[in-house]
Every structure is written in C-alpha cells, then in structure tokens.
Amino acid sequence: MNLTPNTQKHLYGMTNEFNSFVSLFKKKNFPNKILLSGQKGIGKCTLALHLINYILSINEEFPYDLDNFKINDQNRSYKLVLNKSHPNFTSIDIMPEKKSIDISQIRNLILNLNKSSFNSKPTFILIDNVEFLNLNSANSLLKILEEPKNNVNFILINNNKKILPTIKSRCLEFKISMSNKAALTVIDKLLDANLFEYINNELLDYYFTPGKIYKLVKFSEEFEINLKETTLHEFISLIIQESYYKKDNFIRYLIFDLIEHYLVDKISLENTNLFNYFFKKIENTKKFNLDEEALFIEFKTNFLNG
C-alpha cells in the first residue's frame, strides 16, 4: 500500500477546493504565490499535485480527468513528476536526515530557475512543510518570491505552524480544513476498506487526519503490530518499551497525541491535578525541546504499569 501524495491518482475530500482553484485558472486569476495552510495530513500536498497536474496536462494526450478528480494512468506529466524529471516542476521538502530545509536546496532551485525554459508551459515550485525553512533558506526564498520570473508559480504548504511573516505576506493564503467525519471517509476510500477493520477504535483520536492514520497503518506493518487487537494502553506501552519513538520520527510526534488522547479519555475526570500536570509537561517538552524520554517513562510509571 503506497499512499504518498505524489502517487495519489484520485483526489478525495478536497474537491470543492480543487474546483475553486480550477475556476481561478480558467478566469486567468490564478495566483502565482499560494500558501496552503491547515492541519498536517489532511491532503494539502495531494490537492496541490492534482492542481499542478491539471494545469500541466491540459494539452496532453491523456489530460487530467476533471469529472472524476483523477489523474489519467497514461498522463505524461504524472509519469515525469514521479520520475522527478518534469522540466516544469520542482518539489522541495525537508530531507529525512535533516532538521530543516537547507539553504542549498533553495540555492539549487534558484540556479534551475535561471536556466532557460524548454517550453511555454507554466512552471510550478511546490515547497512542502514550509515551516521547516531555517532563517537562511527562508530569506533566500524570499528574494525569488518578491520578484518571481514570468510564468513561475509557487505553492507553499504550511501545517498550521509559525513561518516567517515576510514569506506569508508575499503569498495569497488559503486555509484548508477537514472534519473528522470527512477524514474517516477519505481514509476508508484510500484503504478500500472500513478503517475499523484495521485499527482498534481506542487508537483513533478525534483529530487524526488521513495522513496520520495512513502512517500509523504503515508503521504497524513495518513492525508487525496488530492494531486491531491492540488497545491504547498497550500501544503506548509498546512504543515506550521498544523505544520506537527513537526509530521513527512520525511515532515520535504521534506518541504525544496518543498520550494526550489517553489523558483526556482515561484520566481527566479521575485526577484533575495529575491531568493538568502532564498536559503542561507535554506542552513544555514540545515547546522547549526538553528530554522526551523522561516524560514518557514518567507517564508509563504513573499510568501504564499498574
């Protein structure tokens, strides 16, 4: 199962937003600097890639299927994007081994943009997780955002995090959201099955997005964990005991959500003081990058060892 944004040929849950952008493009009012803001994992990157494919494939033999919100299997632009060889598309994201989007990535982008274009199609620059731009890379990007070359379009994706105000002010921001009901419907379509056949209901926090649920399923497959038979208590204990949060960045962030979910569901009414103590400690650990292992062990000792 591969549900990464660049392989998603169907667009689910974002069709209204997609139609709005298509309408702007047809009216020649399409913004050349777009900021898509919203919760991580709701499909902002998938939306951007479908929109880019629609525009780049308009005059191709197998163009984007507007009626079904689907990228054609034979679509030339889709294949080139998958192979990272499309002359009119560049994607930038934080590298797996890095903590920020490096200035070298932006410098390479600038060098490529200064080269002559091979065709008259629009050029798209997609920057995912823009909140991970460090100060140098953000300032470098700001220079090309201020005066973009003709027919060059930027789509920046922010996961409701703080970004450089000058970058935000240069873009037209579109806030994207998705209800819990819509998120569950989308993941059912992506999995081609009922989500609750895969995952114990206890593990599903109300605020989980399709992206988070997908990564949770992938994680369980990698480490051979039966999510259907595993309770919230057992899953958190396993993550801490096996130190999975040290092996997988997604799990490192997910465990905070799971602990908060556990506190709300199991502890809030039983012990208000302990509930408030751990919520504050979680907040400070994330905000000030404190020792997370100490927090997890303290939580396990207080709630999971009994």
For residue 27, what is the domain's CATH number?
3.40.50.300
What is the tens place of the pLDDT at every residue in 233-279? 999 999 999 999 888 778 888 898 889 888 888 776 677 888 889 98
124 in the same domain as 184: no
140 in the same domain as 26: yes
152 in the same domain as 73: yes
85 in the same domain as 130: yes
Last residue of a domain, one of 140, 175, 210: 175
Last residue of a domain, one of 151, 175, 199: 175
84 in the same domain as 29: yes
54 in the same domain as 155: yes
Could you tell me which of 197, 140, 187 has the C-alpha nearest to residue 164?
140
Full-model pTM: 0.85
159 in the same domain as 35: yes
158 in the same domain as 25: yes
Burial of residue 179 (CB within 10 Å: 0-12, 13-18, 19+) is exposed
Would you tell me how many other CB atoms lie within 10 Å of the CB of residue 230?
A: 18
Say what the pLDDT of residue 269 is: 65
Structural domains counted in the chain = 2
- Residue pLDDT tens, the chain, 306 long: 556 778 889 999 999 999 999 999 999 999 999 999 999 899 999 999 999 999 999 999 999 999 999 999 899 999 999 999 999 999 999 987 788 999 999 999 999 888 766 578 899 999 999 999 999 999 999 989 988 888 999 999 999 988 999 999 999 999 999 988 898 899 888 888 788 888 998 888 767 788 888 888 888 988 999 999 999 999 999 999 999 988 877 888 889 888 988 888 877 667 788 888 998 999 888 777 788 999 999 999 988 886
Last residue of a domain, one of 175, 205, 221: 175
- CA pair distance 222, 257, nearest whole angstrom: 20
Q: Running DSSP on this structure, what letter comes out for residue 245? A: G
232 in the same domain as 200: yes
- Parent domain of 187: 180-304
201 in the same domain as 125: no
CB crowding 38-64: b at 16 or more within 10 Å, else e: bbbbbbbbbbbbbbbbbbbbeeeeebb
191 in the same domain as 77: no
Would you tell me how many other CB atoms lie within 10 Å of the CB of residue 240?
A: 20
131 in the same domain as 12: yes
- Residue 168 near residue 127 (C-beta atoms within 8 A): no
